[in-house]
Structures are given as C-alpha cells and as structure tokens.
Copies of this chain bind each other. A is one copy, B any other.
C-alpha cells in the first residue's frame, strides 16, 4: 500500500547514515573544543570520541541530531509545555510533557484504575456512580475532547473537562491534584461528540449530540426518525467556587435530527455565540434492517450540510425567562422557541464536515469538509449582516438557513480529507489532511492582509492524521512553537507489539521557515482524539501534598473521618465494624483486627505523612480492595467479610527500606 511505500522512503538508509557519520565526526571535534574551553582535555577527548562513535554507530543524520537536541530534556529539567490528551477508549486522560513527549501521568476518569485507587474507594465509587446510565454504573468511557478552563479566552490552568462520546457524559478534573471530581450524565442525549468546548470564561461547557435519538433516548421506531428523533446542544454551567458542574443551571437547545460533530465557542466580536458543524442532514439512519442505503452512503448524498450557530447568551436569557421546558430534570429550549427568539441559525457548508474552529481574533469560523479538498472560512460579521438582511430560508424543521455566499469569506484548497484546524502566533493556520496523511500550513487573511487565505506548505505525517494541536492553538492567544499531529494509524513506525498497534503522536517544530518533524511518540493505551497543550507556567496551583492531614480529596475539604496518630481504633456496632487506620513509614496502625464472617467492615485510612511523594497504597487480599492514599489524604472503603480466613494487608508503594514490613493481619473468624 502507499503507506508502506511512504514508510520505506522515510527510513534511515545507507546514504543518510554515511552523511550522518560524516556530520558527527566533525561534531565530536567541535564538542572537544567546546569542553576544552573549560580547561579539561581528558574530558574533551573522551567527549569527542564518544560523540563520533555514538552517531556513527547509531546512523544518525544531521536532521536526526537536530531533532534529538530539540526534544531531549535533561535529567531533572522540567518540560516547557504540558499536553492533556484524551485517552480514547481507555476512558482516561494522558498528561504528556513537551518537548520530551514523556507520559507524566494517566488520570483515571471514566474507567477504574487501581494504582490511583479510582473506583475502589467509597469516594471515587460515588464519582463513577454520578455517571450511571439507566441506573447502571459504567467502567469505561470513549473520551474525545479535553477542554481546559479559560479566562478571557486563555487557559487558566485550573480545571479540565472531557467527554465520553459513547454515553454523553462529562468528567471534571481538578488541576490542583490532577484527579477526577465529578462525572455528569446528559439527561437529554445518549451520544455526544461536540464536547467539551468551553466558552471564553468557562461560563458553560458545550456538549453537542452526535447520533440522533428520541430525546432521553426513549424508544421510537426508526421509521419515525424524522419526526421522533432529535439532536440537542447542551450548555453545562460550571460553578468555579464549588468546582462542580451545576446541572440545575444548565440547559439544552433542541435541534433537528442532524448529527453534530465538532463545536467551538465564539470570542472577541463573536463572544456569546457558538458554532457546530452538522452532518447527515440527509436524515439517514442506515438500512433500518431493510433496503435503505447504509449510513456511509446515505449520509453522504447531499453536496451541502450545515454549520449550526447558536447565541448561547440569548439562550440563557430565554431559559431564565421561563420559556424552556423541563425534560428529565433539565431545561430544554424547544426548536420553535429557539427560532422565534432568533438564537438558532444554520448556514450551508460542504458535505460531511468534521471541524469547526474559530480564529484567535474571533472574526472567522474555519470549517473542514472531509470530502472536500477546501476549508471554508465564514465571517462572523457577514453572518450577522445576513441575519440582519433577512437573507435566509427555513429548513424542513423551520430553522432559518442563511445564504451561503453571503456568509463565506473564503475557501482555501489544501488537500484531501481536511479535518481540523489550529492556529499559531504568526498568523498561520494548520489543518490536518486525513487522506493525504499530512498537515497543511496556510495564511489567515482579513483586513490589511493581501496574501491571506493561501496554502503555504504541507508536511507529510505517518499516518492518517486526525486532530492536531498547536500550543494553546485554540485560544485567543496561541503560543505557536510546537504542533502535535495525532495519527490514527502507526503501521510500521514502531517495534511490533501484536495486532493491536499503538497510535502515533508526531511532534512538529513550527517555529522555523520549514515545518520540522522532531519526535514520534507511540500511544500504547487508547486512541486519543484531541489534546490541548498549555504552557507549564500557567499551572501554578498544583499541590505537592494535600493541605492538611485528614483531607477528603473529592470534596477538597477536611475529612470528618480523618484519624491522627494514636487515634487509631476499631469500633463495633452490631455486625458493622469500623476501622480508623493510619499509615506512616513503615507501619500500618492497627496492624491487626478480627471480625466475624458476615460482618460489614468500613475502613477510614489516613496517610499522616506530609512529605512530598510519601504516598502509601493499601491492599486487602481477596476483597478486591486496592487504594492509593497520598500524603495527608483520608480514604474510605466498605466491604462485607463474607469468607472466613487469614488475610495479610500491606502498603503497595515501596516507601522505605522496611516497606515489606509495613503490613498487618485481617482475620475473619467463623
């Protein structure tokens, strides 16, 4: 296949190896001189020889040497940027350092994770229960789009949100301790995609439906699709003080049964508005078990789909005015009301669109039609003028469709399969080309720019790039410098690991004249969809340890079951046994307790240490209990001791030389 051929050409071949060797022979001499300038001949010579031998032995080209020097982060030095990545079907979030591309942490969100004790402690089980569907607690998520909280359109480093496409849920992560605090289930939709995208001051978290169903996913025959099925755009209210999504203050806007893909919030002149591209305006629901065309055909028949435009500030006023209907405990603005109030509009866009991205200045919306080689650029000013001019016709659902030509600023031909666009600090836009396996760099236009709306160059990727990310590239003030391409196929880029391959994140230096590929990072867990890259310096509120001994990390307040040293005890109330436990290097107190088979045991465990990195784990054999208790934290767990026996519990973090002795015995008598 062409990918394989492409790969072959990318390989370091004999010629480049010779070139590399030649390059570094002199390099060694140079470094020798460099070191000699510090007056150490022995070191200088050793260095010279070693550098020569390293690059010759490893066949590094001068380009490889540049890439190595641009990405290597020395021992003990911290990365300049952090990436928060969707973990795809792993249900987690990945935290990656840039430029080293080192995985710093996996944050458990929708799936239990034993190392963190997530889903094992009572507190985290309650977080997972918040995302139950039809009363069933789920243990996975299909995470797609992380959204960092913003102030004035820029990342503020305080909160991270991420959606589970497969069940229309949102997770809330506190960036003081990088742990998940809340999961909410959307009561109106069962499938989302256009989330999570925040408004410029995190007033709302935008969450758009993907596959249409009857609202609240109730039963309705497919034949009634056009009448009974609907889409929705949900606006989740975030309460910064509480650190929680406030469902009572959240609402949705009813939409036709089109499928919403990606969304973005307006900013600057477009503040108060949001934009989502919308496909399957053909209303295909597949074969329906009959002779209708499958969705891949049925949803690709019309030349144009729609860009959905909502004035969310006005929508909030409409809800406040009591014009919304309650639906499953959350307000829904009916389509008719939304149209009547002038807060819902459509504009045609090329078929099967995949990205909708607002430019940093808030003046334009860039849309990619994945089956069209162009990106289409809409002017917010023109959209407003078209609305003012009344230049629109209703669609089948009565939603006004603005005139295409009147709203379009430009169309830029980039290549095959354009998907997503991000921006840098130099006036450039970058768009992934899925089918061409590359990323296009093009110049933004507008007032005072003569050579705008033009393709500049393209860098090939390995392979099939989906989302891309430029540092802070979806904010009002992009940082530029680095770009990551999230490649869906890795093929032969990495050593084989069986039929299930990693994905491939490629790091590109965009600071120079030429786009320069400097690192390939395999993603060996999940298929990330989208990432955001933030300057490390913005993350200034991170805790090294919890504020005090006896801290509830979910409520982020002192725990009412905290236990201090010498307060450890075992209390019995009928068949209920409560254990107040402490952990400190290298003892667990109590180190012995006994119950009767059938007793219900509740344990409150406090890590009484306040030293950085002095985490203790707690495991109870046979009871499926594995906890992580960070310095200062109090964690609880409850279980029924249903089988008599002898169970040694212990600390699972190698915390000291006598770590293996940090244990105790739990006895269950007949």
Contact = CB atoms under 8 A, between A and B. Distances in A.
A179 B499 CA distance: 10
B19 A38 contact: yes
Interface in A562-594: 586-587, 590-594
Interface string A205-222: 000001101100111111
Interface string A5-39: 00100111000000110111111111101110110
Contact of A7 (B76, B166, B590): B76
Given A72-B67, A492-B76, A592-B222, A23 B27 contact: no
A120 B89 CA distance: 12
B626 A89 contact: yes
A104 B494 contact: yes
A484 to B, nearest CB: 14
Given A115-B89, A664-B286, A648 B30 contact: no
Contacts of A103: 103, 522, 524-525
Given A115-B88, A496-B542, A501-B613, A58 B50 contact: no
Interface stretch (A145-153, A242-250, A468-476, A638-646): A638-646
B38 A34 contact: no
Contacts of A466: 654
A381 interface: no
A624 interface: yes
A288 interface: yes
A669 B31 CA distance: 74
A87 B75 CA distance: 23
A666 to B, nearest CB: 10
A658 B300 contact: yes
Contacts of A66: 47, 50-51, 54
Contacts of A113: 90, 111, 525
Contacts of A665: 222, 285-286, 288
Nearest to A105: B524
A70 interface: yes
Interface string A496-536: 11111110001000001000010111101111010000001
A112 interface: yes
A466 B191 CA distance: 46
A97 interface: yes
Contacts of A536: 495
B12 A35 contact: no
B75 A62 contact: no
Nearest to A591: B286
Nearest to A545: B499
Given A104-B502, A499-B546, A499-B632, 8 more contacts: A58-B69, A104-B522, A296-B661, A434-B657, A488-B655, A489-B613, A527-B617, A527-B652
14 contacts: A11-B76, A23-B37, A78-B494, A90-B113, A97-B495, A104-B522, A114-B141, A115-B525, A134-B643, A134-B645, A352-B658, A417-B657, A499-B630, A527-B652
